[in-house]
DNA sequence: ACTTATTACTTGAATGGTCAAGTAAGTAAT
DNA sequence: ATTACTTACTTGACCATTCAAGTAATAAGT
């Protein structure tokens, strides 16, 4: 972290926090500027518009995905499959820490921002892709423990699906149960894949012995 | 449908459509009133505020869940498990018909509306509950085909999780693939449950023969 | 080393438009 | 004469955005 923060950085960070906790539309420029300790003139020196700021916010999320989200998980957890569930547990902690007001900032924007702003949705999609790509990489590390036909892209996308759906329901219900239930079902799904792969390996082995 | 619509009904229907396609914050009173062919005076005769209107909109969704969403499915599809996937296919059709701009109106509100408006989130949760209760009822109808230990509440909630997560990603990616992938994974999950139950039944049967 | 020019950024008031909401007068049916 | 509802105008706050003027720092010229 630099000793001082540039005005531009302060604005982006303020917007990250506010869009995250209130959404894009519900956040006013006044609020952003106040939080960032900046004037509107400075803002429009660095950004073309509020929409333009949203672009930078999504870039910021993408750039911070690896260092903020993944690096601690890779340091703390070795097993690739458990890394995926550690990621999900991270979201669980966020839900609890925010007293159920948490929602995935990217997912929220995906539903809030109108589709006509294509470049925004391209960046949202890029964030989703980076997220699932990292999950996919974990799956790749556990390749030998999964059935040979497993489609990693599809399965990693499914992990995101479960996270987003679980987070949404936890928020509405003010309860962690829907999230936990969803993750438990996902865990069952994984367990069956792992078991199927183990059985298949055993069969191949005994087949090898016969030949 | 009644021959004439009351002003109140017209306002609610206009709001349903606009909140659905633009979200709550992004929709202005002017827009609602224009679409409903009403004046602001009439509006504030029937509703206390825009927030109050949102309450009625969520009531409307809850009241229309059975007749609009489920009744056609029950008429067209007999198999209880297939009814669940027919429901999901209905969302698939909506995504395609709206050129990927579709998002579940309830899910969208779940993320957009601040948690401090508890009664709104209570109604959102009630909508989710009614949705999953109907899925749960289908699972109940297929009880004999599912493993005896299956938790129907958890599984039906998982179906909603998959729907919401799939819809969200389809929107961001402007592609039906993430939705289809998610549903395919869910189908695998169900298939394994059905197979496990069938095997267990077979074992019980042969056990019965032995005794 | 001192002045001048240029660039980079900040200040904060002002703009015009839109927001949800309020109101007073009016109509029509009971 | 009362209730139910409509009409159209109005309010004041807030919205994103603009702009002219100001400051501070660096670079160039002598």
Extents of the domains making up chain A? 1-57, 78-210
Q: Judged by CB atoms within 8 Å, which residues 31-90 of A form the interface with B?
A: none
At B198, the pLDDT band (50, 70, 90 cuts) reads confident
A1-57 in CATH: which number? 1.10.10.60
pLDDT tens digits along B84-134: 999 999 999 999 999 999 999 999 999 999 999 999 999 999 999 999 999
pLDDT tens digits along B55-83: 999 999 999 999 999 999 999 999 999 99
For residue B171 the two structure tokens come to 């929107």
**Distance between CA atoms of residues B13 and B172, nearest Å:** 27
pLDDT at A2 over 50: no
pLDDT tens digits along A89-119: 999 999 999 999 999 999 999 999 999 999 9
| Closest by Cβ to A112, choosing from B23, B100, B160 | B23
Q: Answer whether any strand C atom is within 7 A of the Cβ of A34.
A: no
B128–A contact, CB cutoff 8 A: yes
Query: Which of A104-118, A192-206, B2-16, B19-33 is least confident?
Result: A192-206
For residue B165 the two structure tokens come to 């997560």
A195–B contact, CB cutoff 8 A: no
CA of A26 to C1' of D4 (A): 36
CA of A42 to C1' of D30 (A): 36
For residue A73 the two structure tokens come to 């998980």
CA of B56 to C1' of D4 (A): 21
Q: How far is CA A77 from CA A98, A138, B46, in A?
A: 24, 11, 57
CB proximity list for A114: less than 8 A, separation 6 or greater: B22, B26, B101
Q: What is the pLDDT of residue B1?
A: 41
Interface contact flag, A178 B157, Cβ < 8 Å: yes
Interface contact flag, A111 B111, Cβ < 8 Å: yes
Instruction: Please state, as a whole number, how many other Cβ atoms lie within 10 Å of the Cβ of residue A115.
Output: 18
ipTM score here?
Answer: 0.91
**Distance between CA atoms of residues B164 and B111, nearest Å:** 11
> What are the contacts of A90-99 at 24+ separation with CB within 8 A?
A91/A163, A91/A166, A91/A167, A91/A179, A92/A176, A92/A179, A92/A180, A92/A183, A95/A167, A95/A170, A95/A171, A95/A176, A95/A179, A96/A176, A99/A174, A99/B115
Q: Is-same-fold flag (A1-57; A78-210)?
A: no
Q: Answer whether any strand D atom is within 7 A of the Cβ of A40.
A: yes
At B180, the pLDDT band (50, 70, 90 cuts) reads very high
Q: What is the pLDDT of residue B23?
A: 87
At A3, the pLDDT band (50, 70, 90 cuts) reads very low
Measured in residues, chain A has a length of: 211
Q: Answer whether any strand C atom is within 7 A of the Cβ of B4.
A: no
- Does the domain at residues A78-210 carry the CATH identifier 3.40.30.10? no
């Amino acid at each position: 972290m630099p000793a001082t923060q540039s005005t531009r950085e302060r604005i982006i960070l303020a917007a990250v926090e506010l869009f995250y906790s209130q959404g894009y539309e519900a956040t006013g420029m006044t609020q952003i500027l106040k939080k960032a300790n900046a004037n509107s003139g400075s803002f429009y020196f660095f950004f073309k518009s509020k929409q333009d700021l949203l672009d930078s916010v999504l870039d910021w999320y993408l750039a911070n995905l690896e260092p903020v989200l993944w690096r601690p998980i890779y340091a703390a957890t070795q097993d690739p499959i458990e890394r995926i569930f550690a990621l999900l547990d991270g979201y669980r902690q966020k839900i609890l820490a925010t007293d159920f007001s948490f929602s995935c900032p990217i997912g929220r924007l995906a539903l809030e921002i109108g589709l006509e702003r294509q470049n925004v949705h391209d960046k949202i999609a890029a964030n989703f892709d980076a997220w699932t790509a990292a999950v996919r990489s974990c799956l790749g590390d556990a390749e030998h423990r999964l059935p040979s036909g497993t489609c990693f892209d599809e399965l990693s996308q499914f992990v995101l699906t479960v996270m987003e759906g679980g987070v949404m329901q936890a928020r509405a219900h003010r309860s962690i149960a829907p999230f936990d239930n969803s993750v438990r079902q996902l865990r069952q799904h994984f367990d069956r894949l792992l078991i199927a792969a183990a059985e298949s390996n055993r069969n191949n082995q005994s087949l090898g012995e016969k030949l």
